[in-house]
């Protein structure tokens, strides 16, 4: 009696579907691990020469913001708003950069990773 199923479970060119599935599962596991590492990390940024500092989690939750006394003057409101925006945007960029770095070797064509 002959073998049941597909001989060698392979595709043309010798590609083995089981091996491909295992590699995809490992890649998915690695990506989940990387995402968790980023989410557990705390990022810190400083703007305005140290006048404003902020901390954010990898989940993009702002957890701390510090403003120097000089910027609390009403006449400095515009400057305070500007340096807050710079500082928070820097935090978001750090998280994005970390995500890019951690997933650099895991790109899958057509998956946008």
- The pLDDT value given to residue 89: 92
- The pLDDT value given to residue 82: 87
| Residues 3-53 pLDDT 10s | 454 555 555 666 688 888 999 899 889 888 888 999 899 999 999 899 889
Which two tokens mark 16? 């083995």
Those residues whose C-beta lies under 8 Å from the C-beta of residue 109, and which sit 6 or more positions away, are none
Burial of 101 (0-12, 13-18, 19+ CB in 10 A): exposed
Nearest to 103 by CA among 17, 25, 37: 37
Nearest to 47 by CA among 101, 109, 113, 92: 92
pTM to 2 decimals? 0.61
């Amino acid at each position: 009696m002959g073998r049941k199923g597909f001989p060698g479970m392979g595709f043309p060119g010798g590609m083995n579907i089981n091996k491909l599935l295992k590699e995809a599962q490992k890649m998915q596991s690695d990506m989940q691990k990387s995402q968790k590492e980023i989410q557990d990390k705390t990022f810190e940024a400083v703007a305005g020469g140290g006048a404003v500092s902020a901390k954010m989690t990898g989940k993009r939750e702002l957890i701390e913001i510090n403003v120097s006394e000089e910027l609390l003057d009403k006449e400095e409101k515009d400057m305070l708003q500007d340096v807050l925006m710079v500082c928070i945007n820097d935090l978001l960029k750090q998280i994005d950069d970390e995500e890019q770095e951690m997933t650099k070797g895991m790109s899958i064509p057509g998956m946008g990773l």
